[in-house]
Amino acid sequence: MVNVMPPSQRRTALAMLAQVAWAGPALASRLLPQRPPDPVRVHVPVDFGAHPDQRIEWWYLTGWLADPAQPWQPLYGIQLTFFRSRTEVRANHPSAFAATQLVMAHAALSDVRAGRLVHDQRIARANLGQAVARVGDTEMRLRDWSLRREAVPGKTAEEASVYRIDLGRSTLAERIELIASTTSPILRQGLGGWSRKGPDPSHASLYYSQPQLTVQARLRRDGRDLMLTGRAWMDHEWSDSLLPPEAVGWDWIGINRFNGDALTAFRLRRHNRQAVGQDPADATLWTGGSLRQPSADVWYEPTSTSGHAFRHEEADVLRWTPLRHWTSPSTQARYPVEWKVERGRTEYTVRALFDAQELDSRASTGTVYWEGLSELLDADGRQRLGLGYLEMTGYAQPLTLR
């Protein structure tokens, strides 16, 4: 579809969404339709950058790294997430030290052969030179960690991008450098980038993905450089009111299939006595997802039952069934590390490559969650169809987004 909304109208629409989010569900039901107008969508390249008027935002890159001679046999999983958070301090505060915006980052490396995850985290206010969240295009910096988008000569921002990631010395390695290149246009999740997150339409985000990124990486560990290749997935999402109050957390997968497809699936879990640490079927509050095929544009419509849409109205349309659990020795959180995920007659198995991939980020974002390299298998659990990341939040404690 062609975008027909001028930037001024789009800003007005986003301002209305933000206003509704703070006003509450009663006002939301009067002002917001059940389906937003189609032109409310993600614009590039401007939306590649930060949205400091929104409360929470993240740029999230995950993938696998392998020996170039065996590109489908991962040696490492890699995760890098930059967060930007608007605080309660007013934007025009006169003090240069006022923390109006915070930038946080998580990085993790999953060593598949060793079955071990190492991670690091950082946080800084955005106005003292230690952290940058650029408006207008992707450029995130937090001390010596950085994520930056570069244009591709002869291609539009819609068509192609190159991302350069540099992680200076950390607990992960002495240095990690990645170049991730797009292989397809951006994938707008939801209705043109408007991704609903619950029964009340005021709980939504603007959200796009860039799956099937090709990766060239240099990993320096123990004084030795490893030159690796791989595939990655990048998400960028921002919102003023992301989670319904009854939500305790979510389960999410972003899978790069070997045939070129990109599979997204998520569910939000409701806040009840059993939802933390367990997984009863009635914990599902909301589900969603998308499937992009390399030969066709993604089509996603919450009120549709055809095409490649995942319908939102009935929680059992996209079903998540835990098959096996792992209990963290440090937090005692019990995570489903193997799932059956069903959509209609299509059934997948999602299985962690190893169990111990929990991240304790209480020193930055205040959360504990499971984030790990996983495989997508057929319904019988025998044939590997793809690789990607499984994310599970709210199992150690209810999720609170700063």
User: Does 384 map to a domain?
Assistant: yes
Average pLDDT over residues 384-393: 97
* Predicted confidence (pLDDT) at residue 22 exceeds the cutoff of 50: no
**pLDDT tens per residue, range 240-285:** 987 888 889 999 999 999 999 999 999 999 865 444 445 555 688 8
Residues in CB range of 274: below 8 A, 6 or more apart: 280, 283
pTM, to two decimals: 0.84
pLDDT, residue 16, reads: 36
| Position 18 in a domain | no
Q: Does 317 score more than 70 pLDDT?
A: no
Instruction: Kindly indicate the confidence band of residue 293, based on its pLDDT and cuts at 50, 70 and 90.
Output: confident
Task: Please compute the mean of the pLDDT values over residues 11-37 and round it to a whole number.
Answer: 37
- Please determine, for residue 291, whether its predicted confidence score (pLDDT) is greater than 70: yes
**Whole-number Å distance between alpha carbons of 373 and 21:** 34
Tokens describing residue 338: 């193997």
Quick one: tokens of 166? 């540099």
Number of domains into which the chain is organized? 1
Question: What CA–CA distance (Å, rounded) separates 227 from 230?
Answer: 11
> Is residue 29 included in any domain, yes or no?
no
CB 283 within 8 A of CB 260: no
Residue 169 lies in a domain: yes
Output phi, psi for 366, to 5 deg.
80, 15
Average pLDDT over every residue of 122-149: 91
Among 3-17, 140-154, 171-185, 275-289, the range scoring the smallest mean pLDDT is 3-17
Lowest-confidence pick of 115-119, 240-244, 314-318? 314-318
pLDDT, average across residues 361-378: 89
Q: Mean pLDDT across the stretch 39-56?
A: 90
CATH of the domain at 111: 2.40.370.10
Above pLDDT 90, what percent of the chain?
57
DSSP string, 331-347: T--EEEEEEEEEETTEE
What residues make up the domain containing 234? 44-393
Does any domain span residue 213?
yes
Within a domain: residue 253? yes
In-domain check, residue 30: no
Domain assignment of residue 25, yes or no: no
Q: What is the mean pLDDT of residues 57-65?
A: 97
The pLDDT confidence band at residue 376, using thresholds 50, 70 and 90, is very high
